[in-house]
Amino acid sequence: MTKGYYSLLKHCTLCLLFIFFAVGDSPAQGVSGWNLEKMPVDLETDFALSALPPHLRAGATVYLLDPEKGYYIARKGTNGFVCFIARTEWEWAEFRQDLATPISYDAEGATTIMPVYLDVAAMRASGKWSPVQIRDTIIERIRTGYYKAPSRPGISYMEAPMMRVYTSNNPNNNHVASVSMPHYMYYVPYLTNSDLGIDSNSTLEPFLVNPDAMVLGEGRKGPYEYLITPLNEAETNKILKSGQALLKRLAAYKPYLKVLPIGGGPDN
Predicted structure pTM score: 0.84
> Dihedral, CA atoms, 238, 42, 94, 251, nearest 10 degrees?
50
Q: CA 249, 55, 236, 167 torsion: positive or negative?
A: positive
72-81, 135-144, 196-205 — which is least confidently predicted? Answer: 196-205
Question: If you ran DSSP here, which 8-state letter would residue 223 be given?
Answer: S
Q: Which tens digit of pLDDT belongs to each residue from 142-196?
A: 888 899 999 999 999 999 999 998 776 555 567 889 999 999 999 998 887 788 8
Q: Which tens digit of pLDDT belongs to each residue from 73-132?
A: 999 999 999 999 999 988 888 999 999 999 999 999 999 999 999 999 999 999 999 999
More confident position, 19 or 184: 184
141-145, 200-204, 253-257, 260-264 — which is least confidently predicted? Answer: 260-264
